Amino acid sequence: MWILVIILAVLIVAFVTIYNSLVRLRQRVKNAWSQIDVQLKRRYDLIPNLVETCKGYMKHERELLESVTRARAEAIAAKGGAAEQAKAENALSSTLRSLFAVVENYPDLKANQNLLALQEELTSTENRIAFARQHYNDQVMKLNTKTEVFPSNIIAGVFNFTREEFFEVDSPEERKAVKVSF
Amino acid sequence: MYEQIAQNKRNSVFLIVFFTALVVVLGYLIGEAMGWGYGALILAFILAAAMALFGYFGGDKMVLAVSRAQPASRERHAQLYNITEELTIASGLPMPRLYIIPDDNAPNAFAAGRNPRHASVAVTTALLDRLNRQELQGVIAHELSHVGNYDILFATLVGILVGTVVILADFFLRSLIWGGGRRRGRSASSSGKGGAILMLIAVVLAILAPIFAKLIQLATSRQREYLADASAAKMTRYPEGLASALEKIAVSPAKLESANRGTAHFYIVNPLKVGGRKRSQLWSTHPDVAERVKRLRALASSA
């Protein structure tokens, strides 16, 4: 009899512990995502200003500027999870890169104080997105592992904790992770 | 990492206890020499406690003031603020207060404070002028690693407590050597029992001063700097930034005017630049820059 009570008590404690850790992980993933979101919005806000500044100097690059504006609109409109969003953001990043490559051909524009400030803000935002993404992906990996390993996968299955998508980046300049051993 | 934090906290407590004991013993000796009795003992204890509290709560401000650091403004130093904010996202640390040291010749940087919530990072104007964005990012990441490791707590306490004792010992010994002759000529009677004990204190201080100097050196042990370099590389995922920053800082021959022996151990690269290779290797407060750069580049190629 006592043995049954003890087994039941252990099971209840195990259940509560695992369930709570799953909830906590899901919350962390949400938090990490909102950190990325803040930085993505910051980038959306900077782009119209950038396009406006470039317009004055770039008479023959109408198409390029339009593609930046379009990529921004598509990124804002992107719905349906991290993977979809990441794809739209990557497209936006790559049009921005080609814009800055073309800026190199316009010495007057390159020296424009307004553009320099915008370039610094965009570089910083890109870095923030990259660092926030690392954090987000770490949290997603923890949650995904937890939903798959035994025994937490049972509780995850019953209470509908699903895998989350990674925020992937496919840019060639993406820095490789550094292995550090202490 | 957690081990490092625990060790720094332990060392800090040890330092405060040791410092208090030392001041109380000195107070006792002076009290005996002057015939003040227990008054000097109590006074010494209050003084030591006040110094320790001051070192803990106000040490960073003291170090910043001595280094002539001024608060950085977000408008004028937008890039510095941006870089630091990026790295707080990467490291999960709170945003430190940022300071600028107006020195256009010596690129250098340091961090001070008692914990990550009360931390300051200071950079010289020369550092901002000469380093590119990625190099600056490496330097700030190195400083933030010191913040996260609580290296700043121990370094700040060492700076305040040990620095004070070293300065007092210097002052005391000098006044004894230079002032002793005059006094002896004036009256032989004053150099009786009191004089003998003052002499004893002088000897004790003379022995302790080099030990304290050694402690300052330990505050920037090689291991600490290597660890901060490695953490910075992990944080930025770009070891080359810090490596080339260290090279640029080391190449600059200028001595940082506002740094002194009590604050030198804070900086990312020794700001005093003393000559004499063998000697500087043995007594230096910082590991060899070439070796640090080599280790960083090794990280970059192994990834």
**Smallest Cα–Cα separation from A58: which of A104, A95, A118, A11?**
A104
What is the nearest CA distance from A57 to chain B, expressed in angstroms?
Answer: 25
Taking only Cα atoms into account, the Rg of chain B, rounded to an integer number of angstroms, comes to 22
Rounded to an integer, what is the distance from CA A153 to the centroid of its chain? 26
**Are residues B82 and A124, on separate chains, in Cβ contact within 8 Å?**
yes
**Are residues B86 and A35, on separate chains, in Cβ contact within 8 Å?**
no
**Are residues B86 and A176, on separate chains, in Cβ contact within 8 Å?**
no
Q: Is some CB atom of chain B closer than 8 A to the CB atom of A134?
A: yes
Provide, as residue numbers in chain A, all residues whose Cβ is less than 8 Å from the Cβ of B224. Answer: none
Low-confidence ranges of chain A (pLDDT < 50): 172-179, 181-182
Q: Residue length, chain B?
A: 303
Residue of B nearest to A123 (CA): B82
What is the nearest CA distance from B296 to chain A, expressed in angstroms?
Answer: 10
What is the nearest CA distance from A127 to chain B, expressed in angstroms?
Answer: 6
Helix, strand, coil shares of chain A, percent, nearest 5, are 75, 0, 25
Residues 6+ apart with CB under 8 A from A32: A132, A135, A136, A138, A139, A140
Report how many Cβ contacts below 8 Å link chain A to chain B: 53
Provide, as residue numbers in chain B, all residues whose Cβ is less than 8 Å from the Cβ of A180. Answer: 230-231, 233-234, 299
**Are residues A131 and B303, on separate chains, in Cβ contact within 8 Å?**
no
d(CA B230, CA B232): 5
Q: Is some CB atom of chain B closer than 8 A to the CB atom of A132?
A: yes
Report chain B (303 residues): mean pLDDT per 10 consecutive residues: 82 85 78 72 83 87 90 92 92 93 92 93 95 94 93 87 72 64 46 67 73 69 85 90 92 81 82 54 66 88 68
Residue of A nearest to B230 (CA): A180
Selecting from B87, B90, B237 the residue whose C-beta is nearest the C-beta of A177 gives B237
pLDDT given at position B192:
60
d(CA B130, CA B84): 18
pLDDT given at position B118:
94
Residue that the structure tokens 């709570």 belong to = A20
**Are residues A124 and B238, on separate chains, in Cβ contact within 8 Å?**
no
What is the nearest CA distance from A35 to chain B, expressed in angstroms?
Answer: 9
d(CA B248, CA B241): 11
Asked if residues B112 and B119 have their Cβ atoms less than 8 Å apart, the reply is yes
Asked if residues B89 and B239 have their Cβ atoms less than 8 Å apart, the reply is no
Mark residue B287 as left, alpha or beta (left: phi above 0; alpha: psi -120 to 50; beta: remaining).
beta
Q: Residue length, chain A?
A: 182
Q: Is some CB atom of chain B closer than 8 A to the CB atom of A123?
A: yes
**Are residues B238 and A175, on separate chains, in Cβ contact within 8 Å?**
yes
Dihedral pair phi/psi, residue A174, rounded to 5°: -50, 125
* Residues of B with active-site annotation: 143
**Are residues A178 and B303, on separate chains, in Cβ contact within 8 Å?**
yes
What is the nearest CA distance from A70 to chain B, expressed in angstroms?
Answer: 27
In DSSP notation, B170-191 reads HHHHHHHHHHHHHHHHH-STTT
Q: Is some CB atom of chain A closer than 8 A to the CB atom of B282?
A: no
Q: Is some CB atom of chain A closer than 8 A to the CB atom of B86?
A: yes
**Are residues A177 and B86, on separate chains, in Cβ contact within 8 Å?**
no
Handedness of CA A112, A118, A124, A126 (dihedral sign): negative
pTM: 0.79
CB burial readout B14-31, b (16+ within 10 A) else e: ebbeebbebbbebbbbbb
**Smallest Cα–Cα separation from B148: which of B122, B124, B123, B117?**
B117
pLDDT given at position B273:
66
Q: Is some CB atom of chain B closer than 8 A to the CB atom of A122?
A: no
Selecting from B87, B92, B299 the residue whose C-beta is nearest the C-beta of A180 gives B299
Provide, as residue numbers in chain A, all residues whose Cβ is less than 8 Å from the Cβ of B303. Answer: 176-179
Selecting from B78, B230, B238 the residue whose C-beta is nearest the C-beta of A120 gives B78
Show me where the domains of chain B are located: 58-303
Q: Is some CB atom of chain A closer than 8 A to the CB atom of B144?
A: no
Show me where the domains of chain A are located: 22-158
d(CA B116, CA B90): 15
What is the nearest CA distance from A139 to chain B, expressed in angstroms?
Answer: 13
ipTM: 0.72
pLDDT given at position B220:
65
- Assigned fold of A22-158: de novo design (two linked rop proteins) (1.20.1440)
pLDDT given at position B181:
47
